[in-house]
C-alpha cells in the first residue's frame, strides 16, 4: 500500500482548497478512530478517508463523475480494493456492504457538521464544543444543511448510537485540531 506521505502528495497535488484538504484530514481522523473502535485496519480506513474526495475539484461541476474519477486517478497506485470500494460507496456509486463502506458514508458529512458547529460559536475551537451542543444542532434542520442527517444517522449500521458517533468523531477531530486550524 502507498505510504501516507505519498497519499498526502496526491492530496496536495490535486486539491487546492485549504478547506477541502482540512475536510479529508478530518475524515481520515474519524475513519481511523472508527477502525480502532470496530477492530479494523486503521491504516486502510484512514487512507480511505484521506483519499475519498481526491477528484472533488475536477468533478464539482459534474458530480456524476465524483468517486469514479478518484478511483481512476488511483488506478496505478498500490491500494487495497477496500479503499476504492469505500470511495465509491461514500458518494453512492456502489452499494454499502462492507463495514468500511458504511463507515465512510457516515463519516463524510459529520466532519463538515462539526466544523460548522465550531464556526457558529465565535472564537470557538474544537475543544470548546461538546456532544450535547452537537446533538442540539443536529435537531436544527436549518443548521449545516449540507451535512446530511440521513447519512450521519447511518452510524447505526456500525452499531453506534448517534451520540457515540458524534463523540468519537469530535474526539478524533480534536486530536488533530492544529492541522484543522480549529
Give the 3-state DSSP-derived string for 111-151, with helices as H, strands as E and coil as C. HHHHHHHHHCCCCCCHHHCCHHHHHHHHHCCCCCCCCCHHH
pLDDT of residue 107: 98
**Position 174 pLDDT exceeds 90:** yes
| Structural domain that includes position 98 | 4-180
Q: What is the structure's pLDDT at 122?
A: 75
Alpha carbons within 13 angstroms on the beta-carbon side of residue 121 total 15
- Return d(Cα 78, Cα 81) in angstroms, integer: 10
Confidence at residue 10, expressed as pLDDT on a 0 to 100 scale? 97
| Domain tally, the chain | 1
Alpha-carbon distance 125 to 42, whole Å? 26
Confidence band for 121, pLDDT divided at 50, 70 and 90: confident
* pLDDT tens-digit series, residues 96-112: 999 999 999 999 999 99
Work out the angle between the directed axes of helices 18-38 and 99-119 (0-180°, nearest 10): 130
The pLDDT assigned to 123 comes to 76
CATH number at residue 27: 1.10.3210
pTM above 0.95, yes or no: yes
**How do residues 37-94 score in pLDDT, each as one tens digit?**
999 999 999 999 999 999 999 999 998 999 999 999 999 999 999 999 999 999 999 9
What angle, 0 to 180 degrees and rounded to 10, lies between the N-to-C axes of helices 99-119 and 42-51? 60
Residue 70 is predicted with a pLDDT of 97
* Longest CA–CA separation in the chain, Å: 44
- In this prediction, residue 155 carries a pLDDT of 98
Amino acid at each position: 500500500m502507498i505510504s501516507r506521505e505519498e497519499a498526502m502528495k496526491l492530496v496536495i497535488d490535486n486539491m487546492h482548497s485549504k478547506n477541502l484538504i482540512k475536510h479529508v484530514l478530518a475524515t481520515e481522523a474519524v475513519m481511523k478512530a472508527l477502525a480502532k473502535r470496530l477492530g479494523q485496519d486503521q491504516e486502510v480506513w484512514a487512507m480511505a478517508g484521506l483519499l475519498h474526495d481526491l477528484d472533488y475539484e475536477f468533478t464539482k461541476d459534474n458530480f456524476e463523475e465524483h468517486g469514479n474519477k478518484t478511483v481512476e486517478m488511483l488506478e496505478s497506485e498500490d491500494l487495497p480494493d477496500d479503499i476504492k470500494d469505500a470511495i465509491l460507496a461514500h458518494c453512492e456509486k456502489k452499494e454499502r456492504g462492507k463495514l468500511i463502506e458504511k463507515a465512510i458514508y457516515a463519516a463524510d458529512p459529520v466532519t463538515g457538521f462539526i466544523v460548522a458547529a465550531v464556526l457558529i460559536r465565535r472564537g470557538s475551537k474544537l475543544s470548546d464544543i461538546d456532544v450535547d451542543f452537537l446533538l442540539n444542532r443536529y435537531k436544527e434542520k436549518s443548521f449545516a444543511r449540507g451535512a446530511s442527517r440521513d447519512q450521519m444517522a447511518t452510524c447505526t449500521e456500525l452499531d453506534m448510537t448517534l451520540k457515540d458517533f458524534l463523540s468519537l468523531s469530535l474526539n478524533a477531530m480534536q486530536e488533530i485540531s492544529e492541522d484543522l486550524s480549529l
